[in-house]
């Protein structure tokens, strides 16, 4: 697998992760950003713990996680990488969908999941097509 193909594989997981982080940040209680750490709202217990420590906690754990997705997704063997990246895509799609369904309704959630699905399938097809051309 080429470097470009590996980078393409990262896009759906990174996109869903960044969107989940963005929407988590956007929908936090304004009092949280004023320093009332008890107002943090996060379903992931690791993220919730970081958020309960400092208002920058979400950004610290998020930066670490984004780097980890990139490193593991790029350097793991193909099958493990694909499994890990699909897991990240599904987990962050779920995480973001909890915010979307609560604040913007059912249909925005459906559109988000559909977009993520199409993105994954299209990029997977592009990667597979390039691999077949390399073998020919």
At 131 the pLDDT is 83
Residue range 34-51: average pLDDT? 96
Q: Which residues contact 23 (CB under 8 A, 6 or more apart)?
A: 96, 99, 100
Q: What is d(CA 14, CA 89) in angstroms, rounded to the nearest whole number?
A: 8
100-115, pLDDT tens digit by residue? 999 999 999 999 999 9
46-87, pLDDT tens digit by residue? 999 999 999 999 999 999 999 999 999 999 999 999 999 999
- From the list 64, 62, 63, 86, the residue with the least C-alpha distance to 9 is 86
């Amino acid at each position: 697998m080429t470097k470009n193909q590996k980078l393409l594989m990262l896009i759906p997981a990174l996109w869903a992760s960044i969107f989940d982080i963005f929407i988590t940040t956007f929908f936090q209680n304004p009092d949280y950003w004023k320093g009332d750490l008890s107002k943090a709202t996060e379903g992931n217990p690791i993220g919730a713990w970081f958020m309960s420590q400092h208002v920058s906690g979400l950004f610290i754990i998020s930066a670490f996680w984004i780097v980890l997705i990139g490193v593991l997704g790029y350097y793991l063997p193909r099958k493990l990488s694909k499994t890990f990246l699909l897991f990240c895509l599904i987990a962050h799609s779920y995480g973001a969908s909890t915010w979307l369904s609560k604040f913007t309704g059912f249909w925005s959630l459906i559109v988000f999941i559909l977009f993520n699905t199409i993105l994954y399938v299209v990029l997977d097809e592009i990667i597979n097509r390039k691999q077949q051309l390399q073998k020919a």
